[in-house]
Structure 1
Amino acid sequence: MSDSTSSKLSLYALTALVVGSMIGAGIFSLPATFGRATGGGGALIAWLIAGSGMLMLAFVFQTLAQRKPELDSGVFIYAKAGFGDYFGFIAALGFWAGTCIGNVSYFILIKSTLGAFFPVFGDGNTFLAIAVSSVILWFFHILLLRGVKSAAAINTIATFAKIIPIFCFVIILAFAFKADIFALNFWGTPPSAPADLSHLNDYGYVGHAALAIEPSVEPESLWSQVRSTMLVTVFVFLGIEGASVYSRYAKERKHVGIATVLGFLGVLCLLVLVTMLSYGVMLRPDIAALRQPSMAGILEAIVGRWGAIFISVGLIISVLGAYLSWSLLAAEVLFSAAKSKSMPNVFTKENDKDVPHVAVWLTNITIQVFLILTFFSDYAFQLALELTSSLTLIPYLLVAAYGVKLAYTKETYETDSRDYKKDLTIAVLATFYALLMLYAGGLKYILLSAIIYGPGTVFYLIAKREQHQKPFNVVEGTIFAIIIVAAIVAIYSIATGAITI
């Protein structure tokens, strides 16, 4: 992209980048995902926590882009600059693996969507669903190797394909909203007896699942309900760093922060509306029982079969359009990390189309392996979604912690310390939020992440050997040992059934 003024990105363009990078497949799955975890009250608390925390993280990305403009190799470079080579590698590996598994969730959701019309695809992880997904995967692989680096027309179509159904969904649900149903759903506890629900059948939105609830069901605590949604909220906010990544192309530097806030608030409003309005048209047990993408099931309950088809077509076009750019991003992470000496040099190799072909091959082989593994998972989409979030939280945590370190040591604040206290406070809050999300996700996903971080460290060892350097200092060696122990515990737990996938 040229640096001329005419080629610079306007505030509108930067805001669109944030919105486009954040709205993906996750929003189409929100009603059932939240419905299984909590009611309206818990959902509001969850979005308040997630919205506040992610906004702090967005501000950290903005601050680092302004104060460390030379660090432009990707999210992982902040971890490397702040805490050393191994932490930089961990951030790169986590971000790359999270992107790969995120792409797997795309395939699952596409096939689950088709499964509503063609039962042979099931919930997206049947044998045929995996086989068809694999064909699509390697078709995109061929496109990538041939140098398909930009698809502006496809991305434009994909953006409209996901925005229009979402807006229509929100408008229709606003008119169909019933205060009685929302009130019953608010605290997330099951009704005391089926008789309490009889008058609601006149609305036409209450299914049999709601009437089958046992009065003796013990309600979960509110914190337990909120905690169950935390990794989901992280997943739907991935891409919040969009404007910061393109900050050097902004017409005015101040537009980066404005675009980040405007785009973030716009997306947050959509996420909250999709979640909360759903509680006003169906009872929570019926929402929880919906197959993914649950937006399709909600709309079908209100307007009929065409609603499910409308949402499903929009989702499929959206996800297929977005997959190309996310596949490129995954390969680009490996390529950039190798350029920064955090990965083996082989990942810097490019073919005659200037495509990092080795990185593309490893990325797609990894996606294929995870696709096959979904066959053995009972809740493949949920697993992919939450594991993606857990893996990506590690790089986000290291970015936030680097923000704390930069402000605490007053590096880059020597001549202008006016923003020192504000930046330090924001970075501390962002760090706390990332830690809270990891805790809320639970030990299971931390252990599963270790299975990737542990064996994946072989790439770091190869890179260090190429550079004729000692791989670890004392702290890094200790961290590596902890990861290996966690990976062993995770594998043993899966084998004995203590962890289910």
Structure 2
Amino acid sequence: MTTTDVKASQKMPLMTLTAMVVGSMVGAGVFSLPRNFGQATGVLGAVVAWVIAGVGMLMLAFVFQTLAVRKPELDAGVYAYAKAGFGEFPGFFSAFGYWASACVGNVSYWVLIKSTLGVAVPGFGEGNTLLAVAVSAVGVWAFHFVILRGVKEAAAINRIVTIAKLVPILVFVVVLAVALRADVFAANLWGDDRSFGGLWEQVRATMLVTVFVFLGVEGASVYSRYAQKRSDVGRATVLGFLSVLALFASVTLLSYGSLPKSELEQLRQPSMMGVLESVVGPWGSVFIGLGLIVSVLGAYLAWTLMAAEVLFVAAKDDDMPRFLRRENAHGVPVAALVMTTILITAVLAVTVFSDDAFTFTLKLCSSLSLIPYLLAAAYALQIGVRGETYDTAPERRRRELTFAAVAVVYTAFLIVAAGLEFLLLSFIIYAPGTILFVMARREQHRRVFSPAELLLFVVAVVLAVLGIAGLATGLITI
């Protein structure tokens, strides 16, 4: 079978694309929400946080929908938009950062799985013991060989897994809604500080968590070259987002009606296990634990696919080394997949030295994703300001310009809310990644950096050095 035949046979309909979006977002994050929000805020703060995150991420979803329609020639979403708007080196940064974010996020999945199993297997601890890392590494490479069989086959598995993993979460929501204790819910209205300033700090503390659980909102955009109809990309993005937002907010708010905030914040991760156990007994913990394993493995599959796809398309556009273009007989970008699996394995090894591996990987994953999201939103704003592609539909320009402006403000706010620590840690990964860009330029016998690109590279190196110095002096911890 030729590569063209493979790609023709791998086209995905609307529901499969939507399942990829839902499968990408509903992963480890939802199972950690009760404790993460309980540690940060009360009911009021949670409502404010979900409103901000919901509006901000909905604007990002609209941005990806808009760009999918207005720039149908751009594949691999996040990377392609950054390059088209701001040049090759920022586009490379977007591709590399998005890929690295996906890899770090996948590590968090394995940490949470082993933490879940740690209840029954003490050797797994909190998911970052030597035994846990070794077993996780075996799982990582097992998935690698499953994906090598083909993108469509992996997507079909993901669709089945998406349905299966939603059942425990929906059961959790229904049971907690029926068993809601109004007195407990009322007592949890406020966080530790009832002032306006205190409420805002509580909300800010949840921002990286909300980013993590919404990562994947652009999933259909990344797979645009596999869509049966281009218009399905935007529909799948928004449909998947709205479904997941309702689910996440329900899990968070209903948990406040089951346990006092002081108990929520002390729960072992995945905290949904402890919440349901408090309502229905020990079987609830086992039920959620099984659901988590299915959910996380499904999200891992989707994110590994997306990570490899971004590297592959960047290589096709000459922004990554040529070896990353290589596909196998099933149309799978095999070299990009190998690099992805290697980075996941390497970051898994690093978690052995982390005090709280799940929280560390969650926040680093979120931080790495912010620059790619910001550049995509800024590109949508750019074409809206210029009026580019609006000749045939000028009535949509103002609305889509507003969506893009709000998305830019939101993602910029997230970078500030994340804090300097994770920005510096992100550039410890970004800066060395430039080696791939240099390799690609030399293959093409081109000048490595333009003056503007050199300046951007110097800034990245300086931030990376500051991050390393912070780690060495103990100012930054993992």
**Is the shorter-chain TM-score for this pair beyond 0.5, marking a shared fold?**
yes
CA contact (8 A) 1:149 1:328 kept: no
CA contact (8 A) 1:350 1:356 kept: yes
Deviation at 1:168, TM superposition (A): 0.6
Distance 2:140 2:6 in 1: 32
Deviation at 1:152, TM superposition (A): 5.2
Picking from 77, 86, 102, the partner of 2:105 is 102
- Which residue number in structure 1 is paired with residue 410 of structure 2? 433
- Which residue number in structure 1 is paired with residue 454 of structure 2? 477
Picking from 50, 64, 67, the partner of 1:64 is 67
Picking from 378, 381, 385, the partner of 2:362 is 385
Distance 1:233 1:22 in 2: 11
CA contact (8 A) 2:41 2:202 kept: yes
2:264 equivalent to 1:287: yes
CA contact (8 A) 2:67 2:380 kept: yes
Distance 2:237 2:69 in 1: 14
Instruction: Please identify, of 155-164 and 338-347, the stretch whose mean Cα deviation from structure 2 is larger.
Output: 155-164
Deviation at 1:361, TM superposition (A): 2.1
Deviation at 1:8, TM superposition (A): 7.5
- 2:109 is matched by which residue type in structure 1? Y
Picking from 404, 409, 434, the partner of 1:457 is 434
CA contact (8 A) 2:25 2:299 kept: no
Picking from 212, 216, 240, the partner of 1:263 is 240
CA contact (8 A) 2:59 2:406 kept: yes
- Which residue number in structure 2 is paired with residue 237 of structure 1? 214
CA contact (8 A) 1:189 1:220 kept: no
Q: Secondary structure at 1:456's aligned position in 2?
A: helix
- Which residue number in structure 1 is paired with residue 190 of structure 2? 187
Picking from 134, 139, 144, the partner of 2:142 is 139
Deviation at 1:354, TM superposition (A): 4.2
User: In percent, how many aligned pairs have the same letter?
Assistant: 57
Deviations 1:323-364 (A, max 9, x none): 233223222221111111111111112345544332222211
CA distance 1:242–1:366, change in 2 (3 Å): closer
- Which residue number in structure 2 is paired with residue 366 of structure 1? 343
Deviations 1:16-46 (A, max 9, x none): 4433332222111111111111111111111
- Structure 1: give runs of 5+ residues left out of the alignment: 192-217
Deviations 1:136-157 (A, max 9, x none): 1122233344557623553244
Picking from 35, 38, 41, the partner of 1:32 is 35
2:422 equivalent to 1:419: no
- 2:286 is matched by which residue type in structure 1? I
Distance 1:152 1:91 in 2: 24
2:398 equivalent to 1:398: no
Deviation at 1:115, TM superposition (A): 0.9
Picking from 81, 87, 90, the partner of 1:87 is 90
Q: Secondary structure at 1:151's aligned position in 2?
A: helix
CA distance 1:245–1:136, change in 2 (3 Å): closer
2:200 equivalent to 1:223: yes
Q: Size of the alignment, in residue pairs?
A: 472
Distance 2:73 2:149 in 1: 31
CA distance 1:372–1:488, change in 2 (3 Å): same
- Structure 2: give runs of 5+ residues left out of the alignment: none
CA distance 1:281–1:190, change in 2 (3 Å): farther
- 1:231 is matched by which residue type in structure 2? L
- Which residue number in structure 1 is paired with residue 470 of structure 2? 493
Q: Secondary structure at 1:404's aligned position in 2?
A: helix
Deviations 1:364-421 (A, max 9, x none): 1111110011011111111111111111111110000001111111211245422222
Picking from 304, 309, 318, the partner of 2:286 is 309
Deviation at 1:245, TM superposition (A): 4.8
Q: Secondary structure at 2:127's aligned position in 1?
A: coil
CA distance 1:122–1:75, change in 2 (3 Å): same
Distance 1:392 1:223 in 2: 23
CA contact (8 A) 1:108 1:124 kept: yes
- 1:170 is matched by which residue type in structure 2? V
CA contact (8 A) 1:158 1:319 kept: no
RMSD: 2.5
CA distance 1:317–1:249, change in 2 (3 Å): closer
Picking from 117, 121, 125, the partner of 2:120 is 117
